């Protein structure tokens, strides 16, 4: 199930490339390129995954500017989707609190307002300024709404896969606080720019968010198991895809600027 989530995210990236005016990338191309570039997360700094994905896309005929823009947008959609799912942890922790309903109301309201064209233009422009890359003129809020829906679907799959993992080791855990804890820990690990793939930071937040359900010791064990689980699911398919990519690279279209 976790691997299916990665494949969904790879499809999402290919969809962004096409919506920005790039070539249509079959699933057999977009998914392997995404999985290979995903290994850049294990290098300190947060730019290597984006840079790798852009470089690999160019080997498949995607114009350079489109390749970079799609990679930046894909990362932004992933963070927004993970944040949306991860705030379910706040909903769970606020059980009985008067402000609990502010979480879903704020989420839905924020998405609706954020997708209004004038607001979306400002927010996306800021994201590209942070990335020090020109905002593509073809970027539209209605396309972003579809990307966000796909991103939420993939992060729901990630959350469900993690919940099943927790249950499989014999722990009683509810779906919402458990799955959302996985998403929240990802986001918090990502913003720690000094930690490759959020190593250490993600595990610390995962322990903190899971402990109310499972206890600190069990949460610590799950955090370690989850790191091994995600690493294997990322590395093994990426190695297979990289081998295939090298074998077929000579027959790929020449990159265009």
69's tokens: 């823009």
Quote the distance between the C-alpha of residue 222 and its chain's center.
21
d(CA 118, CA 223): 41
Domain boundaries, the chain: 2-251
Q: What is the pLDDT of residues 73-115, one digit of tens each?
A: 998 999 999 999 998 887 777 776 777 778 778 878 888 898 8
The more confident residue out of 110 and 154 is 154
What is the DSSP secondary-structure string of 130-180?
A: HTTSPPPTT--HHHHHHHHHHHHHHHHHHHHHHHHHHHHTT----HHHHHH
Percent of the chain with pLDDT over 70: 94
Contact in structure between 136 and 69 (CB atoms under 8 Å): yes
pLDDT at 19 (0 to 100)? 93
**What is the tens place of the pLDDT at every residue in 3-57?**
999 999 999 999 999 999 999 999 999 999 999 998 888 887 667 888 888 888 8
Answer yes or no: pTM beyond 0.95. no
> Measured between alpha carbons, how far is residue 232 from residues 102, 229, 239 in Å?
38, 5, 10
Mean pLDDT of 183-197: 83
Which residues fall within 8 angstroms of residue 96, CB to CB, at 6 or more apart? none
Report pLDDT for 148: 94
Q: Which uninterrupted H or E stretch holds 122?
A: helix 117-130
Which pLDDT does position 26 carry in this prediction? 93
Mean pLDDT of the chain, nearest integer: 87
The predicted structure's pLDDT at residue 257: 52
pLDDT of residue 50: 83
Q: Which two tokens stand for residue 257?
A: 């600027």
Mean local confidence (pLDDT), 146-155: 95
For the residues 130-135, what does the mean pLDDT come to?
Answer: 85
Question: How do residues 224-253 score in pLDDT, each as one tens digit?
Answer: 999 999 999 999 999 999 988 887 765 555
């Amino acid at each position: 199930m976790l691997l299916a989530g990665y494949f969904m995210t790879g499809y999402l990236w290919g969809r962004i490339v096409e919506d920005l005016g790039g070539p249509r990338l079959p699933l057999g191309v977009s998914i392997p390129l995404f999985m290979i570039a995903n290994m850049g997360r294990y290098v300190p700094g947060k730019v290597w995954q984006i840079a790798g994905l852009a470089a690999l896309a160019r080997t498949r005929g995607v114009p350079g500017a489109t390749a970079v823009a799609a990679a930046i947008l894909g990362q932004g959609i992933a963070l927004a989707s993970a944040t949306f799912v991860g705030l379910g942890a706040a909903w769970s922790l606020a059980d009985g609190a008067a402000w609990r309903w502010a979480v879903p109301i704020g989420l839905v309201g924020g998405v609706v307002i954020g997708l209004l064209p004038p607001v979306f233009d400002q927010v996306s422009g800021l994201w590209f300024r942070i990335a020090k890359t020109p905002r593509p003129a073809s970027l539209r809020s209605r396309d972003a709404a579809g990307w966000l829906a796909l991103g939420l679907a993939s992060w729901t799959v990630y959350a469900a896969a993690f919940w099943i993992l927790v249950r499989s080791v014999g722990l009683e855990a509810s779906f919402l606080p458990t799955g959302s804890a996985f998403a929240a820990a990802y986001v918090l690990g990502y913003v720690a720019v000094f930690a490759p793939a959020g190593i250490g930071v993600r595990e610390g937040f995962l322990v903190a968010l899971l402990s109310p359900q499972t206890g600190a010791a069990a949460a610590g064990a799950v955090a370690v198991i989850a790191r091994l689980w995600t690493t294997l699911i990322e590395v093994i398919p990426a190695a297979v895809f990289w081998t295939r990519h090298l074998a077929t690279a000579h027959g790929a279209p020449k990159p265009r600027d």
